[in-house]
Structure 1
Amino acid sequence: MAGILASIELPQPKRTSLSESVADTIAEAIATRIIVPGERIVEATLVEKLGVSRVPIREALKVLHAQGIISGVGHKGYRIAAFDPKVAQQVMEVRLSLEAFLLRDAIQNWRMGNGSPAVLDAAIEKMYASAKAGNAQSSLTADLEFHRSIRNAADNAIAGILWDTIARHVLIVSNLERFRDEDLSAIPHQHEAFRDWILAEIAKPETNATDVQKALEDHMFLIARKKNPGSQG
C-alpha cells in the first residue's frame, strides 16, 4: 500500500472553506428567522448581501441541499425546507443519542486529565454577552459552541463526525419555541447548571450511562417539559 500511495497524487486536505462559512451563515439566518421556511433562495441576493462571488454561494447551496436544509433544483431555484415539529423532534432525538456517547466520553477524558471542562466557560460567557446585547443569533452559535466543546473533548471520531453532519440542523431547530428559552438571559444559567452537573460527574469514580441520558434530556428538552409536563418533547 505504501508503494501505491507513493506513486499517485492525493488531494491536499482542505481548511474550512469559504463555501462552508457561507453555508453556516445561511443556516444561522434560517435559525433566527431572517430567512423563513418556504422562502426562495435568490443567488444574486446572497452574492450582494454576503459580498462573495457566485462560486462559493453555489457550493454552499449544494451542501445545504444535500443536507436537506433547502429543497429544489439548482437551476430552478431553491427554497428553505419546512422544519415542522415532527422534523424538529427527529433532529433532537438523533442529537440526544449522539451527545449521550459524546458526553460520556468527554467526562471520562476530563476525569483522566485529558483536557479541561473549563473550555465550556468561554461559550457561557458568550451567552451572557449575547443576552446583554439582545443578540439571538450570537446566543445560538454560543449554545452550539458549548456542545461542540463536548464533542471535541470526547475524542470519539465516529460520533463526532455524525454530530458535525447534523450541527446545522440542530442550530435551526433548537431555536424553535419548543426547545429553547425565548429569554436570552435564562440560557447561560441553564448551561451553567448543566456544566455544574458535568463537573460533579467528573469528581465521581465513574459515570452511569442512564444518568448521562437523563441529564441531557433535562437540559435539551427543558422548555418542552415546562410547557408540557410529563412529556419529553
Structure 2
Amino acid sequence: MPTAPGRTLTSTQTGTRLAGLAPLSAKSLVDQVVDAIVEATAKGIFLPGDRIVEAEVARSLNVSRIPVREALRLLESQGVVVSERYRGMSLMSVDIDRLEKILKVRLALEKLAGAEVMEKLKSDPGVLAPLEKVLADMHAAGEADDGFRVASLDTEFHLCLCTLSGNEVLVRTLEPLSRQLTIIFGLSTMKKGVMSIVEEHDEVVAALKSGDREAFDRLMEIHILEYSRAVDYEHLVEQLRMLERRNKAG
C-alpha cells in the first residue's frame, strides 16, 4: 500500500526501503575519471579541441567504458566537453570569444562576493581564515613548482571567496564553471611563472582586508580580465600541438 501523505515510516520500513542503496564512497569511480580528464587537459596531455574517445580513455585508466561515459556526460553538462554530430565528444575550445564570456561572468560574481565578504569583515576579522589557508597551500605548491596543484588551488581560492560571501546562489552559479577554470588556470601556468600566479592572490586578500570596494573591483578586473587576456591560449594550444606532432615524428 502506498504511504499516505504525512505518514511517518517506522525504522524497520525505512531500513527495508534503503537496503538496496549502495554505501557512499569518498569519491566515486566516475568522479575519479572526471578528475583524470580535467588534470590531463590542464597539463596539456589532452588539448582543447581534441576528440575524446571513450574506449581509449577507459583503456588508459584501466576502467570499463561505463564510468567514462558517465564522466563525459557530467563534463558535457559543465561545458568541459562538447558533443558534435558525426565527431563524438571533444574537449572545450579556448577561443577568445568563449573565454571572454566565462571571464565576464566570473568578474561579476566575484565582485559581488568580495563586497559581501568585506561587509562581513567589519564584524568578524577572522572571516578570511579559510581563504588564507588556501593561499598558504598555493604558496607551498608554487614553491614546489607544481603547476597543476597551483591551478587546482586557484579554482579552490575563488570558490572559497564566493562561499565566504554566504550567498549560496552565487556559489551554485560559479561552481559549474570550476572545472573549466582549472583547465584554463592549468594552461596559464605554462606561460606564466607559478609564483607570479600565487602572488596575484596575495593582492586579492590584501584588497579584501583594505575594505575599499572600488579598489577591490579594479584589482579583480586586472586579476580576472587583464591577466587572462595577456595569455594567448589559442596560440599556446597550437604550440603544444606542434610539439606533440614533432615528438611523434621524432
Q: Is TM-score (shorter-chain normalized) higher than 0.5?
A: yes
SS of equivalent residue, structure 2 residue 79 = coil
1:217 aligns with 2:227: no
The equivalent of 2:203 in structure 1 is 193
Mapped partners of 2:29, 2:70: distance in 1: 9
Equivalent residue letter for 2:222: D
**SS of equivalent residue, structure 1 residue 72:** strand
The answer to whether the Cα contact below 8 Å between 1:115 and 1:153 also exists between their aligned partners in 2 is no
Is 1:106–2:117 an aligned residue pair? Answer: yes
Equivalent-residue separation in structure 2 for 1:121 and 1:151 (angstroms): 14
- Which whole-Å CA distance do the structure 2 matches of 1:4 and 1:194 have between them? 51
Amino acid at match of 1:61: L
Query: Is residue 117 of structure 1 aligned with residue 137 of structure 2?
Result: no
Structure 1 range deviating more: 140-149 or 73-82: 73-82
How many Å apart are 1:88 and its aligned residue?
Answer: 1.0
Does the 8 Å contact 1:181/1:223 carry over to 2? Answer: no
Alpha-carbon distance change, 45 to 113 in structure 1, aligned in 2, over 3 angstroms = same
Superposed, 1:151-230 pairs within 5 Å as 151-177=162-188, 182-201=192-211, 208=213, 210-223=214-227
Distance 1:114 1:20, change over 3 A: farther
Q: Where has structure 1 moved over 4 Å in runs of 4 or more?
A: 5-12, 14-17, 73-76, 224-227
* Bigger Rg over Cα: 2
Distance 1:170 1:217 in 2: 16
Amino acid at match of 2:207: W
Structure 1, 186-195 or 38-47: larger mean CA deviation: 38-47
Amino acid at match of 1:185: M
Contact kept? 1:64, 1:70, Cα under 8 Å:
yes
Which consecutive residues of structure 2, in runs of 5 or more, have no partner in the other structure? 232-250
Q: Compared with structure 1, are the counterparts of its residues 24 and 155 closer, same or farther at alpha carbon in structure 2 (3 Å cutoff)?
A: farther
Partner of residue 34 from structure 1, selected from 42, 45, 50: 45
The normalised TM-score by structure 2 is 0.72
- C-alpha separation in 1, matches of 2:125 and 2:48: 42
Q: Out of 83, 87, 93, which is 2:94 matched to?
A: 83
Report the CA distance shift for 1:120/1:46 in structure 2 as closer, same or farther (over 3 A): same
**Distance change (3 Å), C-alpha of 1:136 and 1:5:** farther
Instruction: Tell me by how many angstroms 1:92 deviates.
Output: 0.6
Q: Could you tell me which of 61, 72, 75 is aligned with 1:61?
A: 72
How far, CA to CA, are the matches of 1:138 and 1:31 in structure 2? 10
**Matches of 1:143 and 1:6, distance apart in 2:** 48
Which residue in the other structure is 2:151 paired with? Answer: 140
In structure 2, relative to structure 1, the CA distance for the partners of 1:130 and 1:48 (3 Å cut) is farther
Matched-pair contact (CA < 8 Å) for 1:22–1:60: yes
Matched residues, number: 218
Task: Give, in whole Å, the separation in 1 of the partners of 2:122 and 2:39.
Answer: 34
